[in-house]
Amino acid sequence: MKKYQLVCSVCGKPFEDEAEPYVCPACGGLMEPRIDLSAQAEHYRQVIRDGCQTGVWDYRDLLPVEGVDEAVTLGEGNTPLLSADRLAKVIGVESIFLKNETVNPSGTYKDRFATLALSMEKAKKTPAVALGSAGNAAAAMAAYSAKAGMPCFVLLPPGAVAERGWQVRGYGANLIRMEHTIDDCISMAKQGEILFGWKSLTTNMLTNPLPSDGYKTIGYEIGKQLDFQVPDWVIVPVGGAALLNKIYKGFQDMLELGLINKIPRFVGAQAAGCAPLADAFQKGLSKPEIWPGVPQTVAFAIADVCVYDGVTALDVLKKTGGGAEAATDEEILEAMHLIASKEGVVAEPASACSVACARKLVQKGIIRTADRVLCVLSGNGMRDLKLMEQGQKEVPFVKHRDVEGVKAAVNAYLEARE
């Protein structure tokens, strides 16, 4: 017997079909596995208190993984929560935390989905998996497919940086470049289920609600890492929006179990060149509209023209008294430099978007100076170092044994810091 029931994440109504798409016919919210926490409340409290040791599978009893005897794991999760004091001074707040998902095995929070998804598919003896992706999900799925010994097919759009494709191929996955948008690649991977017999593992609640629950462990970890004294704001990069929704679900579980006394205000951070969630929030819509045309942004990992989990995300923003913000590419690139130079973390543009949006909300007076802010860094920026070079000054070059030349270079750097 399953320990969970699929219910609507917005209105709470049970889902009878248990088949795609996992959408509530009553309100359009997305389905999620719901566990009766009251049945073993003290046990679940202890699971969360004891977690954040080895990774995602510390929370196995709170995950919908029936039938999985052997986990496909690379040690994902248990990521650092950094107190970013130097960054806080620049942003304009007294306290800011960075949930550093960049240190996951493939460099992204998507590993939390991948470990559950590949464990489930391996248990079902699925012959192969596939997905369309901007790069992060592709890397995660390729890595965990390699660990599972399962063929993996990846469709990448042309805007994805070359390094992301190299990473996927390095894991032995079968890479296919496909023109147009991320969403077109996702659609083709889904069509391939009939053509090729693989399982499409798009990393969202709309089509894969069970492995999406891996993301809620980020919320559990934040709770424990802050001794269950939750921040005032949690700012999350948004493409499809599953990450935002599931971190919220982690806090929701902790509130129900009495581990915390409030849920933070959630903010969806997007790039101005593709901001359907922020646009919908500003217009007061209950469902994001499709973003027109091809996205134009350096934050390619969140450039989803369709916010697949958008109805639930807008509901989360409303319930928590949060909001949505969009940052320009210039603001995102500046945030990348700030995160690296002030806190020593190289975050991808999508990750930096959370910090860029936090800064904008402080400037607008929405986030107050005394508020405690937490930004989620969703992915590693080592594949995006070319972007960080944009706008940088030319590197000094000196001749052999030219002491005066070195002095001039050093002085130039010192003067620039003043």
CATH number, domain with residue 247: 3.40.50.1100
Q: Phi, psi at residue 155, to the nearest 5°?
A: -110, 120
Residue type, position 325, single letter: E
Looking at residue 418, what is its pLDDT?
63
- Asked if 7 and 13 count as a contact pair (C-beta separation under 8 A), the reply is yes
Does 224 fall in a domain?
Answer: yes
Does 352 fall in a domain?
Answer: yes
- Asked if 211 and 352 count as a contact pair (C-beta separation under 8 A), the reply is no
- Asked if 181 and 293 count as a contact pair (C-beta separation under 8 A), the reply is no
Looking at residue 161, what is its pLDDT?
66
Task: Name every residue whose Cβ is closer than 8 Å to that of residue 402 and which is 6 or more positions away in sequence.
Answer: none
- From the list 84, 9, 12, 50, the residue with the least C-alpha distance to 341 is 84
Does 321 fall in a domain?
Answer: yes
Its pTM surpasses 0.85: yes
pLDDT digits (tens, 9 = 90+) for 319-361: 999 999 999 999 999 999 999 999 999 999 999 999 999 999 9
Does 43 fall in a domain?
Answer: no
Does 112 fall in a domain?
Answer: no
> What is the distance between the alpha carbons of residues 16 and 216, in angstroms, rounded to a whole number?
23
Q: Phi, psi at residue 119, to the nearest 5°?
A: -65, -45
Does 59 fall in a domain?
Answer: no
Domain that holds residue 299: 81-107+213-388
Looking at residue 213, what is its pLDDT?
97
Looking at residue 196, what is its pLDDT?
93
- Provide the domain count of the chain: 1
Over its C-alpha atoms, the chain yields an Rg (Å, rounded) of 21
Does 9 fall in a domain?
Answer: no
b/e 120-134 (16+ beta carbons within 10 angstroms → b): bbbbeebebbbbbbb
Looking at residue 1, what is its pLDDT?
54
Q: Give pLDDT tens digits along the chain (418 positions).
A: 578 999 999 999 999 877 788 999 999 999 999 999 999 999 999 999 999 889 999 999 999 999 999 999 999 999 999 999 999 999 999 999 999 999 999 999 999 999 999 999 999 999 999 988 766 888 999 999 999 999 999 988 776 667 777 888 999 999 888 777 777 888 888 888 899 999 999 888 988 999 999 999 999 999 999 999 999 999 999 999 999 999 999 999 999 999 999 999 999 999 999 999 999 999 999 999 999 988 899 998 898 889 989 999 999 999 999 999 999 999 999 999 999 999 999 999 999 999 999 999 999 999 999 999 999 999 998 887 887 887 778 899 999 999 999 999 999 989 887 6
Which helix H or strand E contains 308, and what residues bound it?
none
β-strand pairing of 4-8 with 31-35: antiparallel
Does 73 fall in a domain?
Answer: no
> What is the distance between the alpha carbons of residues 272 and 152, in angstroms, rounded to a whole number?
32
Q: Scanning the structure block, which residue is given the tokens 């993301």?
A: 215
pLDDT digits (tens, 9 = 90+) for 94-115: 999 999 999 999 999 999 999 9
